[in-house]
Amino acid sequence: MTGTQTLSKYWMLTNEFTQNPYPVLDHVRREGPVRELSFPDGGRAWVVTRYEEAKAALADPRLSRDIHVHYRLMSRRTGRALTPPPEEANHLANLEPPRHTPLRRAISFAFTPRRAEALRPKVERIADDLLDRLGEAPEAELIAGYADPLPVITIAELMGVPADAWPDFLRWSTALRTHSPTDGSGVLDRNVQELSAYMADLIARKEREPGEDLLSALIHAAPENRLTPTEILSTGFALMTGGNDTTASLVGGVIAALLTHPRERARLLADTGRWGKSMDELIRYVSPISNALQRVTTEPVDVGGVTIPAGEVVVVCVMSTNRDTGQFPGHPDRLDLDRVKPAHLSFGFGIHYCSGAHLAKVITEVSARRLFERFPAARLAVDPSRLRYQQNVVVRPLEALPVLLRP
């Protein structure tokens, strides 16, 4: 992208952008803090690309994440009466205060740094089991074989789902991430129904026989923190949809970054104390979220001097804010493990800040570390230029990550 080229009105939706968004985002960010994006169906969105404006937008209650507000807008645009399924309509990620507040409070106990640390041995065991299977062949594909299943199994374990249901959880999770609400094939509905039926049954079992897991804790919470059965079911959905594909995309991206930055990888392996301190820089650099941070304006809002009318979609582009030189001076396009506490926005900002951030960091650190400790000579099986990213409105995962595990 050069300064003189003009952007297509669908600039963010092209495959070229998905494969390498950074030159386009650099250009757009220099032009202004907010840029319009058109959709082929005639709709449009306002994309916020600069760091300060993004933080202000994420903290502004006039920019709503309420799923009902979003569905009303989609219904108006498509001329079809669309309503969210109850599993999606009743969880914290899709609601605003006052309903958001008690839902967030109810799960906050499960996601403290201490609890995330306590899960580390389980995550290590899950990673080691997956590596045992991968390690039998000289070459492995690390997205389907490692990055995708690891968070699904960890979150299933966190919720108290027994191991025999993990393969189904993987299938449902893939379906949830690959189908959009306007896709008329029925695949999404079928998978939502199957997952719902399974979860309702699991909740009933844990009502009778509680375990040491998150679902049991939610079901048997003190009366002031108790959620309704629909809210508990919906919270399970929030953890799966919020945690699986995001973490898979992050794990794949971090492993790819370390495969292509051997010096940084050697530093981490030489000093294990560095892993924790380096996580935020790796997460800033990888930026695994594409357009997940969406809001709808409930009244006209000024963002960086641009007035966005009421009833419009606003996308906060974290891939862009994480490379904003205003916030990350020097060389934001470079992975620099010496960068001190980079305040990236990969986990969002404000009341919807990612509940699973600590756990996601533990999963990512464990997965990269266990892989490289076991296979220190692992290297890409293809030239880095051949790695491809999936076109996905929520996350930016690699399609595949083929590696040679041994020298």
Q: Which residues would be at the binding site for ligand HEM (CB under 6 A)?
A: 65, 92-93, 104, 151, 155, 238-239, 242-243, 246-247, 250, 283, 288-289, 292-293, 346-348, 352, 354-356, 359-360
Nearer to ligand HEM, 84 or 135 (CB): 84
Q: The tokens of 8 are what?
A: 């297509």
- Sheet of 63-64: strands edge to edge? 34-38, 44-48, 313-316, 294-297, 63-64
Minimum CB distance to ligand HEM smaller for 27 or for 68: 68
Report the distance separating Cα 109 and Cα 91, nearest Å. Answer: 16
CB of 377 to ligand HEM, least distance (A): 28
Q: Which of 156, 146, 147, 91 is nearest to 119 (CA)?
A: 156
Using a 10 angstrom Cβ sphere, with 0-12 exposed, 13-18 middle and 19 or more buried, the burial of residue 285 is buried
Considering beta carbons, is residue 107 or 337 the nearer one to ligand HEM?
107
The encoded tokens of residue 57 equal: 């937008």
Structure tokens at 185: 């094939």
Parallel, antiparallel, or unpaired: how do β-strands 313-316 and 44-48 relate? parallel
Is 21 or 243 the residue whose CB approaches ligand HEM more closely? Answer: 243
Structure token digits, residue 165: 């249901």
A 10 A CB-CB count for 69 gives 16
CA 291/CA 180 separation, integer angstroms: 14
Q: Which residue is nearest to ligand HEM (CB)?
A: 356
- For ligand HEM, the closer of residues 344 and 405 by Cβ is 344
Closer CB to ligand HEM, 21 or 151, in the complex: 151
Instruction: Report, in Å, the least distance between residue 406 CB and ligand HEM.
Output: 29
Compute the least distance from the CB of residue 325 to ligand HEM, in Å.
21
Q: Which of 386, 304, 22, 4 is nearest to 12 (CA)?
A: 22
Please state the closest distance from residue 106 (CB atom) to ligand HEM, in A: 11
Q: How far is CA 97 from CA 61, 93, 104, 131, 349, in A?
A: 9, 11, 10, 43, 15
The residue written with tokens 């309903």 in the block is 99
Q: Considering the complex, what minimum distance in angstroms separates the CB of residue 115 from ligand HEM?
A: 11
CB nearer ligand HEM, residue 370 or residue 375:
370
Positive or negative torsion for Cα 396, 252, 89, 302: negative
For residues 165 and 194, the answer to whether their CB atoms sit within 8 Å is no
Nearer to ligand HEM, 50 or 352 (CB): 352
From the list 164, 127, 162, 125, the residue with the least C-alpha distance to 148 is: 127
Enclosing H/E stretch for 295: strand 294-297
The CB-of-93 to ligand HEM minimum distance in angstroms stands at 4
Considering the complex, state which of residue 35 and residue 396 has its C-beta at the smaller distance from ligand HEM.
396
CA atoms within 13 A on the CB side of 72: 13
In whole angstroms, the minimum distance from the beta carbon of 322 to ligand HEM comes to: 10
Q: How far is the CB of 351 from ligand HEM (least distance, A)?
A: 6
CB of 244 to ligand HEM, least distance (A): 7
Is 321 or 355 the residue whose CB approaches ligand HEM more closely? 355
Cα 46 versus chain centre, distance: 21
CB atoms within 10 A of CB 15: 9
**Shortest distance, position 283 Cβ to ligand HEM, whole Å:** 6
Q: Are 208 and 202 in contact (CB under 8 A)?
A: no
Structure token digits, residue 160: 């108290």
